[in-house]
A = this chain, B = another copy of it.
Amino acid sequence: MALVVMKFGGSSVKTPEHIKRVADIIIGKYRQKNRIVVVVSAPGDTTDELIEMAQQISKNPDEREMDMLLATGEQISIALLAMALKARRVAAISFTGPQAGIFADSSYTKARITRIVPTRIVEALKKNMIVVVAGFQGINPRQEITTLGRGGSDLTAVALAAALKADICEIYTDVDGVYTTDPRLIPQARKIAEISYDEMLEMAGSGAQVMQSRSIEVAKKFGVVIEVKNTFHPEKSGTIIKQEVRKMEEVVVSGVTFDKNQAKLSVIDVPDRPGVAAKIFGMLGKNNINVDMIIQSAARQNYNDISFTVAKTDLAKTLRVLRRAKPLVGASDIISKDNIAKVSIVGVGMRSHSGIAARMFGALARENINIEMIATSEIKISCVIAARDLHRAVQVLHEEFGLDKGTKQ
């Protein structure tokens, strides 16, 4: 008998009708002699509506109370889903994060799971019950409700799968799986059958919205096998995410990802001496600004330009911080640009095949697309380009690396 953790996101439990459909999927899996733990998010826009109410109360609502508020969304989902299961005469029980034994730290609104003590879950599974757990929430040592931040429900599912040693963790979304690139942009995009944790991490970090990096990291750490599936087509196989799946030394680009929500900043003519970069990025970090790509140009006459990208929504805040930093680091100017985009190719084995980068740059050059920044990792190459060139860039790269439907890799 396999133990399956199934996670359904907000769009899958938006209305009572949706919840009944989800109940059908779960019961289907249960009748195939699986033990089932289900993790659900808040219905549809509930979380946004709750945040909106809090904003009407205060521009800067207290975070403990924010978690008290937001935790209600998932509690609504688990109650309704357990009702739907019981209405079909299947033994089921819902648990809040605290009842499920999900312990977290006290960083309200972005808590980390510290440990899982799934006593009640195990007890219910022994009675052959379907267990429905609220995603996104835990309890801290003071018995306060804390929430796990963005992607928190995925994290709950993966962490529970790890704690319970589940055979698989199925993440149900509104797409068929992970694609070679965004099918809304490139109709030739193909669903990937299997992908490694590392590739998936790079995909998530480069704009593929299917899962947050945090959950994939935990899955990798504990070897939890994930399958990303479509709630609206549960019969289709999805994308399996697991340890290294490629055979031999095959050169592979798994996907082309992109991110239109970045802005580029450059700090011009900073003295080439130790501690300058630390100063700049230290100040950004203190202001909770996440920096993505960082490029430092080669020093000319003891001066550097430091360029980096941030989320577009952080641009104004970043500029304020940089203006304060400018005299402290002795820079001559700050330049910002928000009409940019990042395009990346992701694939295991890239590094040992230097030809890949050259093919990427060549393909872009043939299309007359100028590259403003380049960053590489073990399994990813990213280029910052003008936003207006993005669509063409994704298209040409998807084709270049044989990812189009019908082409063989």
Contact = CB atoms under 8 A, between A and B. Distances in A.
Contacts of A20: 57
Given A16-B56, A56-B16, A61 B76 contact: no
Interface stretch (A82-90, A255-263, A308-316): A82-90
16 contacts: A15-B56, A16-B53, A57-B80, A57-B87, A58-B83, A58-B84, A61-B87, A62-B82, A65-B83, A65-B94, A68-B75, A68-B79, A69-B76, A71-B75, A72-B76, A99-B144
B50 A62 contact: no
Given A62-B82, A64-B93, 12 more contacts: A15-B56, A50-B76, A53-B76, A53-B80, A62-B83, A62-B87, A65-B83, A68-B75, A68-B79, A68-B82, A72-B72, A72-B79
A211 interface: no
A15 B56 CA distance: 9
A56 B82 CA distance: 13
**How many residues of A sit at the interface, in one of the four size bands?**
35 or more
A79 B83 contact: no
B65 A99 contact: no
A83 B61 contact: yes
B99 A143 contact: yes
A80 B76 contact: no
Kindly name the residue among A20, A57, A143 whose own CB sees the greatest number of chain B CB atoms within 10 A: A57
A19 B53 CA distance: 10
Contacts of A82: 62, 65, 68
B80 A62 contact: no
A178 interface: no
Contacts of A68: 75, 78-79, 82, 94, 96
A122 interface: no
A83 B71 contact: no
A87 B60 CA distance: 8
A58 B81 CA distance: 11
Given A58-B87, A99-B143, A65 B53 contact: no
Contacts of A94: 65, 68
B76 A57 contact: no
